[in-house]
Structure 1
Amino acid sequence: MSEAPARAPHPVRVFLRRIPATLTFVAALLAVGVIWGGLWSPFEDTDLFDAVAYGLPAFAEGRWWTVITGTFFVNQPWVYIFTLASFAGMAYLEFRRGTRVALLYYWIGQLFAVFATALVLWLAALAPWEWAQTQAAALDVGASGGTMACIAAAVGLFASPWRVRAWLLLLALSFLALLFWGHIADVEHLLAVLLIMFVDRSLTIQRSSVREQRFLAFFGMVVIGAIQVIVLLVPTDGMFGPTEPASGGYIDAAVDVVIILLVANGMRRGRRWAWVVSIILASLNVLTGALVLTIISVSSEADLESLIDAETELAMASAVMWLLMLVYILWVRGAFAVRRRTRLGAETPPTVDEVKDIIRADGGGTLSWMTTWDDMSYAHIAGGVVGFQSRRRVAIALGDPLGPEPLRPGVVRGFIDAAERAALVPCFFSAGEATRAAMPDGWRSLVVADDTIVDLPGLEFKGKAWNSVRSSINRAGREEMTFVMSRYTDQPWGVQQQIRAISEMWVGDKGLPEMGFTLGTLTEARDPEVRLALALSPRGDVDGFLSWLPVYGRGGVVRGYTLDLMRRREGGFPPVMEFLIGSSAKHFAEEGAEILSLSGAPLAHEEPADAGLIADLTDRLAATLEPVYGFRSLHRFKQKFNPRYETMYLLYRDEGDLPAIAAGLTKAFLPDATLRQFAGAGMELVRGDHG
């Protein structure tokens, strides 16, 4: 009798087993809170507080043990919420890098934060600075120095670009807490974070992309705008003294915030004017802060506040923030050179005829001929060409780059750099495996379709797998259907009119207009290099037609064809599509072609086993759109021809770009759709749901 397979442990149980140090710290803090009552009453009001709390007074009196004892106490009951939550960083670090590493980061961070804070405050208190003297005389308890160090170390494990973004958020929160609230614990938090930043060196802004440099400038401007609002609503008591809420004018603050947000959006898009305005704003605020500090040193703060009817503390705190912003935007000034019209690439873009010559000379993929369609732009970069559309501030490259294969990595990186410098979000849509391999480190990929390839050499419609195709061709013979391989312009006017009528009827039934980008229309079918497959009834009527795009190999040789248009006449020969595709395959095989691509149906593909959440979302979207466009039905239809599959990817920098890319792709596929058409398609979806 065989044994039952062992039951896999629950993921939560596995996670808890890997964070024993974190759980021990949390348990110790809670136990101390229960024993000494800190969970329900302020511990800092008890007699024991002075004996266990750390700080400059404790060290001056020789109570060095407090750096350990103070770690396990919390000064106020409500602080337990933040203290326990802060151990999430330690848990993540321990889970990823092990217990020993987590304990090392925690204790080094805690000890450094406590002792370095005492030293910094002792030095600062030597000056006539009231804040420093007050905090130098204060005592503190808590584990937050160590947990902040663990959080900083955990941030360093994030993937790019989230690592830099998380670092900037952590630094901003730590710095602003010190600037506007300024307790001894805030000093400890900032010093712990700075220690890990210098030790780990995982914050690499100098190696960030142009796009990321703009994002960080945008983030800094938004933070400054948010602080303008916060100080209007909340009293603060930071390094430069206390401020009262609503101490300034609401109208002035509102105007400042609006200006900051406008400039921030311009910075995000890399506009030169926004950079210039930011320089002016930052310089004025820094000069104002310097002037305030100078007058206070010569006269007094009270005299100045009575003279200007404003709080000097806020002016000096703002000056510090703007000084940091000024240094940063001067450092990355090259990221803000975008003007209204920016061409991608240093060279003059090629014409459509030149792009066709490049495809003929160097070959291309199954989608390459689509880059010669209307609405495409071209970037001539590093010896290659990228065909793309700019939609909703997204540069959507179609398929693989054109040109010699060995140059592809340089072309890919050049296009990405050029797009980012033009303040566009770069991505590659329906790219192949070779382009995916050429992407910079850290780029993501998402399967969007499977290119369905039929290999033509030795093709025979024999066996059970080809039964439906073989039956369709045999039935067409019995019903005297005629197969014609031609070109649109070679057909007589009457046939062209029938083709147009069939296409217009198909479009009219959809509610939405014909999709573009990777799906052509009759305009593209008129290209002399596009082949047209016709199914003619015994009476000469067109029952259906296909258009085939050329797939070039090197040296101008057509190695195959890609299926584009598929249209049939209502009430005509039922299996006309199987007949047309099967007959086309036989015809092209006799001409010596190697492959036939039935192309990929958007949102319909063979999912890998680990596709995950994104696959679930695309499945639901495909099911929703099925009544309108029939993507899944088309995909199932193509399986009749026993193709092999080549994965087609959406290549993008990170998940933060996906909303913009989704908007750009919607505009690329449906550039002319109106709200009324979307509403009509919605009714079709409802009817399809109940059909």
Structure 2
Amino acid sequence: MRTLARVPATLTLVVLLLVAGVVWQGLWQPFEDSATFDVVAYGLPALSEGRWWTPVTGTFFVDQPWVYIFTIASFAGMAYLEVRRGSRVALAYFAIGQLFAVLASALFLLVFSMTPWPWAQEQALALDVGASGGTMACIAAAVGLFVQPWRVRAWLVLLGFVVVALLFWGTLADLEHAFAVALVLFADRSLRIQRTTIREQRLIAFVVSLTLGAIAVLTVLTPTDGVFGHTAPVDGPWLDAALDAAVALVFANGLRRGRRWAWGWTVGYAILNVVVAVLLVVLLLWGGGDVQSTTGDFSVTIATSFLWLLFLIYLLWVRRAFRAKRKAGLGEPPMPTVDDVKEQLRQHGGGTLSWMTTWEGNDYARTSGGIVAYQRRSGVAIVLADPLGPEASRPGSVAEFIDAAERAGLIPCFFSAGAATRAAVPSGWRSLVVADDTIVDLPGLQFTGKRWNSVRSSLNRAGREEMTFRMTRLADEPWGIQQQLRAISEMWVGDKGLPEMGFTLGTLEEAKDPEVRIALAISPRGDVDGFLSWLPVYGGGGRVRGYTLDLMRRREGGFAPVMEYLIGASARHFSDEGAEILSLSGAPLTHEYPADAGPIAELTDKLAEILEPVYGFRSLHRFKEKFHPRYETMYLLFRDEADLTRIAAGLTRAFLPDATIRQFASAGLELMRGDRD
């Protein structure tokens, strides 16, 4: 009710429309067959005969009962406009748009009906009713209020709709829609394609290419009656339709990726369409009366070629967006090595996840001020953590990487990035919370007081049971200990339906790095009951300021509170060495959103509930709370929602590069069983 109270003007017009439908019975029988239709309907004949009131009266009637569904739905644009800009503005757009659409259409048909144009002569005799001119103007004005890049996308969809409808179905209403939208387009000037990004220019080309292919097939299967003439169903140019559809399927994805070859072939085919149309028109003007019968459907060919001409102009205009090379490296030469990355970390420091950028599987892009580590997955360039280098260089590194990725036809995004990188991405980028980094501050850490009971108890119990804690490096341990660690890890992985994960989750291979520390819990019998791996966190100047928890593995049947014991003992050990922080890594899907977070919080809670039986994110979060950490939010940064499906596919492949379809299916069944449980 509160929402309805905000759109009184829209509701009033809808009610008037329904009242007229009840009084004149248009809700259940065709109004165009009634005697009243000629009195209230607008159009060139009505104005020519002096029925000046018809542009107003015709607004509140609908010609067919089923059209009420679409007419009332079209008022959604006015409602949105009224909520955003108020009732007076919404009414002004509706009234001016409706009157302009009716009068401009009448004037247009008055002029062109004097020419040999059959379509103009036919529509000059037509009458129409309905509020669609006003509602289309409101929809166009509402589109102008969208945030970028959705504003440009919505404008192109709206313009595509009115142009295609006019070219191929060409009723008087379609002409009125075109004039209403054109009025707002030129009055508001909210469509600024020249300001779009390279990615957006490619996306527009991709959508237009697919649309042209779909139109080619649709016009063969359905009748048309547009500005170039009439066609019957299944009576069109099959060869043209097949070629257009083939171009759309073969070249569209190449256009989306910015490939030069796709641009060149599409431009060539567009030129071919335009040349064919020009030749047909020339033959017709020179007396080729049989042109239509010998070349297929003349009217559809001309209309389609007109669309290809517009597409050709656009492709030539944004030609610089199509220079991407397959598998092109990103960044400035020379390409950085792992040693360069480690040197950057030692010299300038990094975040709690930065050491993961040294792992196998990452590529590196050199910027003017630093290095960006990323993985190329499913057409997405996924940056891991924050750019490396001096803090002041981060905005420049972010901007340079985004530009390089887009020019290479990749979707850029930043995964597990911090607040500083979030502030450095372009305005308009979106962010999603992917985890909360759990950080324990080590200076002055004492396991005293009631809140440390569980940790203190595990340390005391370990002493009573003569457990041994050892901080070491994997390469320094004897073969027997290494084999125990491998056996524990393989047993843990064997219980999972999917292979061991990667990207931000290390394995024993990554633990072999001499800068990675290993914490062991050894029983009196010499068995390893559990172990942890700790990644270094550099603070600049070659100083290690802390460590990040990576591997957590325990032996079945071993010391029960081994994880609490290992983390507590590690915290003491690193504190004695002078370390400042201990990161227990991110806690996915456990972020505490504010009360007004809305759908994002609901989606996160649902995902956490579904995945809990398999991955135990909430259980892990509760375990980490025993160490009373502070939280630093980690984000997924991306351009807009249109990229999310590709990013999801890319992240899935980054975490599970070796997983098979069968393993994914098995994991899905396990999730479903867990959800039912």
Q: TM-score, normalized by length of structure 2?
A: 0.96
> Post-superposition shift, 1:432?
1.1
CA contact (8 A) 1:393 1:424 kept: yes
2:391 counterpart of 1:405: yes
| 2:261 equivalent in structure 1 | 273
Residue 274 of structure 1 aligns with an amino acid whose one-letter code is A
Map 1:458-607 to 2 at 5 A. Answer: 458-607=444-593
- Write the distance in 2 (CA, Å) between the matches of 1:682 and 1:568: 26
- Write the distance in 2 (CA, Å) between the matches of 1:35 and 1:545: 81
Instruction: Pick closer, same or farther for the CA change 1:601–1:244 going to 2, 3 Å.
Output: same
CA contact (8 A) 1:456 1:585 kept: yes
| 1:669 equivalent in structure 2 | 655
Instruction: Pick closer, same or farther for the CA change 1:229–1:636 going to 2, 3 Å.
Output: same
- Write the distance in 1 (CA, Å) between the matches of 2:675 and 2:554: 24
CA contact (8 A) 2:431 2:637 kept: yes
Segment drifting more, 195-204 vs 249-258: 249-258
Q: SS of 2:258's equivalent?
A: coil
| 2:138 equivalent in structure 1 | 150
CA contact (8 A) 2:213 2:241 kept: no
- Write the distance in 2 (CA, Å) between the matches of 1:278 and 1:117: 35
- Write the distance in 1 (CA, Å) between the matches of 2:118 and 2:497: 72
| 2:291 equivalent in structure 1 | 304
Residue 431 of structure 2 aligns with an amino acid whose one-letter code is S
Instruction: Choose from 88, 93, 96 the match for 2:76.
Output: 88
Map 1:119-198 to 2 at 5 A. Answer: 119-198=107-186
- 1:477-496 superposed Cα distances (whole Å, 9 cap, x missing partner): 12222221121122222222
- Write the distance in 1 (CA, Å) between the matches of 2:627 and 2:319: 56
Segment drifting more, 191-200 vs 452-461: 191-200
CA contact (8 A) 2:212 2:244 kept: no
RMSD across aligned C-alpha pairs, in angstroms? Answer: 2.0
2:54 counterpart of 1:100: no
> Post-superposition shift, 1:621?
3.4
> Post-superposition shift, 1:633?
2.0
- Write the distance in 1 (CA, Å) between the matches of 2:169 and 2:121: 15
Residue 290 of structure 2 aligns with an amino acid whose one-letter code is D
- Write the distance in 2 (CA, Å) between the matches of 1:682 and 1:206: 44
> Post-superposition shift, 1:121?
2.2
> Post-superposition shift, 1:438?
1.7
Instruction: Choose from 396, 399, 414 the match for 2:382.
Output: 396
- Write the distance in 2 (CA, Å) between the matches of 1:366 and 1:508: 29
Map 1:9-408 to 2 at 5 A. Answer: 13-248=1-236, 250=238, 253-300=241-288, 302-306=289-293, 308-408=294-394
> Post-superposition shift, 1:285?
0.7
> Post-superposition shift, 1:313?
0.7
> Post-superposition shift, 1:683?
6.5
Residue 378 of structure 2 aligns with an amino acid whose one-letter code is R
- Write the distance in 2 (CA, Å) between the matches of 1:189 and 1:499: 71
- Write the distance in 2 (CA, Å) between the matches of 1:631 and 1:682: 17
Residue 292 of structure 2 aligns with an amino acid whose one-letter code is E
CA contact (8 A) 2:247 2:266 kept: no
- 1:95-143 superposed Cα distances (whole Å, 9 cap, x missing partner): 2221111011111211221222222223323432121122233332221
Residue 455 of structure 2 aligns with an amino acid whose one-letter code is V
- Write the distance in 2 (CA, Å) between the matches of 1:687 and 1:318: 52
- Write the distance in 1 (CA, Å) between the matches of 2:123 and 2:672: 66
> Post-superposition shift, 1:585?
0.8
Percent identity reads 68
- Write the distance in 1 (CA, Å) between the matches of 2:183 and 2:371: 46
CA contact (8 A) 2:216 2:240 kept: no
Runs of 5+ consecutive residues of structure 1 not aligned to the other structure:
1-12
Q: SS of 2:588's equivalent?
A: coil
Segment drifting more, 672-681 vs 114-123: 672-681
Residue 4 of structure 2 aligns with an amino acid whose one-letter code is L
- Write the distance in 2 (CA, Å) between the matches of 1:644 and 1:58: 75
Residue 476 of structure 2 aligns with an amino acid whose one-letter code is D
> Post-superposition shift, 1:412?
1.7
2:402 counterpart of 1:416: yes
Q: SS of 1:535's equivalent?
A: strand
> Post-superposition shift, 1:269?
1.9
Instruction: Pick closer, same or farther for the CA change 1:293–1:499 going to 2, 3 Å.
Output: same
| 1:9 equivalent in structure 2 | none
| 1:449 equivalent in structure 2 | 435
Q: SS of 1:226's equivalent?
A: helix
Segment drifting more, 421-430 vs 55-64: 55-64
> Post-superposition shift, 1:286?
0.7
> Post-superposition shift, 1:469?
0.5
- 1:230-285 superposed Cα distances (whole Å, 9 cap, x missing partner): 11121111101101111136566345413322111221222211111111111111
CA contact (8 A) 2:417 2:636 kept: yes
- Write the distance in 1 (CA, Å) between the matches of 2:164 and 2:668: 48
Instruction: Pick closer, same or farther for the CA change 1:294–1:680 going to 2, 3 Å.
Output: closer
- 1:281-317 superposed Cα distances (whole Å, 9 cap, x missing partner): 11111111111111222215x32224x1522111111
Q: SS of 2:290's equivalent?
A: helix
Runs of 5+ consecutive residues of structure 2 not aligned to the other structure:
none
> Post-superposition shift, 1:632?
2.4
Residue 437 of structure 2 aligns with an amino acid whose one-letter code is D
CA contact (8 A) 1:605 1:635 kept: no
Residue 95 of structure 1 aligns with an amino acid whose one-letter code is V
Segment drifting more, 46-55 vs 492-501: 46-55
Segment drifting more, 322-331 vs 503-512: 503-512
CA contact (8 A) 1:543 1:572 kept: yes
CA contact (8 A) 2:536 2:544 kept: yes
Aligned residues: 677
Q: SS of 1:561's equivalent?
A: strand
| 1:5 equivalent in structure 2 | none
- Write the distance in 2 (CA, Å) between the matches of 1:172 and 1:88: 19
- Write the distance in 1 (CA, Å) between the matches of 2:443 and 2:273: 73
- 1:463-483 superposed Cα distances (whole Å, 9 cap, x missing partner): 111111011111111222222
Instruction: Pick closer, same or farther for the CA change 1:552–1:231 going to 2, 3 Å.
Output: same
> Post-superposition shift, 1:446?
1.2
- 1:394-434 superposed Cα distances (whole Å, 9 cap, x missing partner): 11111111112222222222222222222222211111111
- 1:583-604 superposed Cα distances (whole Å, 9 cap, x missing partner): 1111111211111100013334
- Write the distance in 2 (CA, Å) between the matches of 1:39 and 1:477: 85
Q: SS of 1:109's equivalent?
A: helix
> Post-superposition shift, 1:634?
1.7
CA contact (8 A) 1:292 1:315 kept: no
- Write the distance in 1 (CA, Å) between the matches of 2:233 and 2:280: 20
Instruction: Pick closer, same or farther for the CA change 1:685–1:321 going to 2, 3 Å.
Output: closer
CA contact (8 A) 1:448 1:603 kept: yes
> Post-superposition shift, 1:219?
1.1
